[in-house]
Structure 1
Amino acid sequence: MKEQVRTLLRTGSLEDAELAKEDLEHLEQESNQPETTTLWRTMCRWWKEIEVLIVTGATTGKVEANNASTSNTSNAPVVDSSIAPTTQHVLCSGAPPEQR
């Protein structure tokens, strides 16, 4: 269901979006899951705004700011340079190897 929503949001025309919306409705009817029904209702409630997004590609400034702030992140761990590195290695148990 979520993949179909992504497909719908990536369409380039309102005609394609309508077809994707029909596919989404079909999935919702077959699923018989409360979460899917909620997602479908949300899509219907926001349909006019979704059409604007598809036609113009425009979103709100707040969304753009959030996208910009998260696009420069990575999954690399953050290292605090104010903490001096330690030469002592800690394994999963939490105790240094020499204390096991």
Structure 2
Amino acid sequence: MLACARTGANRHQVGHPRWKFLTWCADADIPEVRRLAATVDRWWPETEAFIATGHSNAKSEGINRMIKLTARAAHGFRNPANQRLRTRCVTTRRAR
């Protein structure tokens, strides 16, 4: 399904692999596989949007993760200006 991303695939070309996957999961007699199918089905609108546009929020999620790790490593900042400075240093490309 995700292999169709950024290929210009139409709805049928994306829907058929999804149908095959969900059918395979339904035929499996494993509760974890059925739960996986339910999760994929629940998240399908978001997955379909990614396949159609090729856009995700991965960049912003990565920056948020870096900010949280910086705050955790500092055990809390007493000075907000220092917090902003340290966060800016961690999230810019020059620091990495």
Relative to the length of structure 2, the TM-score reads 0.54
Runs of 4+ residues deviating >3 angstroms: none
Determine the structure 1 residue equivalent to 2:14.
17
Q: How does 1:1-100 map to 2 (within 5 A)?
A: 8-11=1-4, 12=7, 13=9, 14-60=11-57, 61-62=59-60, 65=62
Q: How many residues align?
A: 59
Q: Which has the higher contact order (CA 8 A, sep 6+)?
A: 2
Larger CA Rg, structure 1 vs 2: 1
More helix by share: 2
Structure 2: gaps spanning 5 or more residues: 64-96
The Cα shift of 1:62 comes to 3.8
Q: CA RMSD in A?
A: 2.0
The Cα shift of 1:35 comes to 1.0
Relative to the length of structure 1, the TM-score reads 0.52
The Cα shift of 1:32 comes to 1.2
Structure 1: gaps spanning 5 or more residues: 1-7, 67-100
Closer/same/farther in 2, CA of residues 34 and 62 from structure 1, 3 Å limit: farther
